[in-house]
Chain A
Amino acid sequence: METAFTPFASLGGGLLIGLGAVLLMLGLGRIFGATGILSGAIFVESRDEMMWRLALIAGMILAPGALFLATGTMPTISVPVSPAMIVIGGIIVGLGASLGSGCTSGHGVCGLSRLSIRSLVAVPTFMVTAAITVFLIRHVFGG
C-alpha cells in the first residue's frame, strides 16, 4: 500500500517531538523515552514517579483529539497488519525495548542528540533489523 510522501508535515511533527523531549528535560530533568515512561508507570517505584509519567501519557493520548479541535480533521491511521502479527510484534517490542533500555524515542531522539555511545549502537541495530524484517515479510514470505 502506497503512502504519500509528507516531508513538511513530518519535519514539523519532528520539531514538535524534539520540543517535547526538551521540555521534559528542562522541567523534570528526564529523558523522553516511551519505553521507560510506560514501564515506569506500570512497575511503580513511588507515587511521585508514577504520577508525572501518567500525566505525560495522558497528554500524549489527548494529542489526536487536540489536533482535531485545532484543525477540524482527526488524524487517521491505517494498520496493514493482522491482529496476530500485532500481538507477536508487540510482545517482541516490549521485550526487546526493555532489554535494550530504549526505543525510537529514548535511544533515537534523546540518545542520539546526547551522542550516547549506547544509542549510537542501538539505533542502527534496530533500524537494520526492522528493515530486514519488513523485507522478509513483504518480499520473501509475501505477507
Chain B
Amino acid sequence: MKLIFALFTGLVFGTGIALSGMMDPAKVLNFFDVAGTWDPSLAFVMGGALIVTFIGYRLAWRRAAPLFGGRFQIPTSTVIDRRLVGGSALFGIGWGIAGFCPGAAIPALGTGRWEVVLFLLAVIVGFFLRRLLPSVQPKAAT
C-alpha cells in the first residue's frame, strides 16, 4: 500500500512537472535568459508549488505521524557553510549549462528522449564524484 501511494505521489509530481514546462530545457533556459528570449512562465511553477506546499505541509504536520507510520523526517540543520553555498552555486551552473534539473529530468525520461538518459547518467557520475571528495562526510540530501 505504501509503495502504491509512493507511485501515485510520483505520478502527481511528474504530471505537474510535465504540464508546467519544467521538463523542457528550452523553456528552463529561456526562464534564465532575461537578456534574450525571456520566458517568465517558470516563476508561476514555483509560485503554484510554494502556495500548496506552504499550506499543505502545515496541515500534514497537524498529525502526530505520517499515514504510513514512522515520523516526519525534516532536516533540522541551520548551518550555512561553504559546502551549502558552493554546492548550490555549482548546481546552478550545471542547470544553466544543461537546462535539466534532477526533479524535471526523471519525469522527462517518460518522453523517451535519449538526451534525458545521458543527463541522468551524468548526474549519477556527479553523485559518485561527490563521494570521492576527501574529508567530506556524505550527508543525506533533501
Does A pair with B? yes
Residues in A with CB closer than 8 Å to B91 are 92-93, 96-97, 100, 103, 126, 129
Question: Would you call A80 an interface residue if the criterion is a C-beta within 8 Å of the partner chain's C-beta atoms?
Answer: yes
Are B45 and A121 touching (Cβ within 8 A)? no
Partner of B101, one of A5, A15, A34: A34
CA distance A24 to B142 in the complex (A): 13
CA distance A33 to B13 in the complex (A): 11
Are B122 and A94 touching (Cβ within 8 A)? yes
CA distance A79 to B66 in the complex (A): 39
Closest B residue by C-beta to A115: B54
CA distance A109 to B61 in the complex (A): 17
* Known pairs A14-B45, A18-B50, A91-B94; A1 contacts B124 (CB<8 A): no
CA distance A128 to B71 in the complex (A): 35
What is the size category of the interface that chain B forms with chain A? 35 or more
Closest B residue by C-beta to A20: B13
Question: Would you call B134 an interface residue if the criterion is a C-beta within 8 Å of the partner chain's C-beta atoms?
Answer: no
Chain A, residues 60-94, CB within 8 Å of chain B (1/0): the string is: 11111111000000111111110101111111111
Chain A stretch 93-110: residues in CB contact (< 8 A) with chain B: 93-110
Are A17 and B49 touching (Cβ within 8 A)? yes
* Contact sample, A vs B, 27 pairs, CB 8 Å cutoff: A3-B41, A11-B45, A13-B20, A13-B45, A14-B50, A17-B16, A17-B22, A19-B52, A20-B16, A23-B9, A28-B70, A34-B102, A36-B140, A56-B9, A59-B6, A64-B110, A67-B15, A77-B26, A90-B118, A91-B126, A92-B93, A96-B86, A100-B88, A101-B75, A103-B103, A113-B50, A114-B57
Measured CB to CB, the residues of B under 8 A from A are: 2-27, 29-30, 32-37, 39-42, 44-54, 56-57, 59-61, 63, 65-68, 70-75, 77-80, 83-104, 106-111, 113, 115, 118-127, 129-131, 133, 136, 138-142
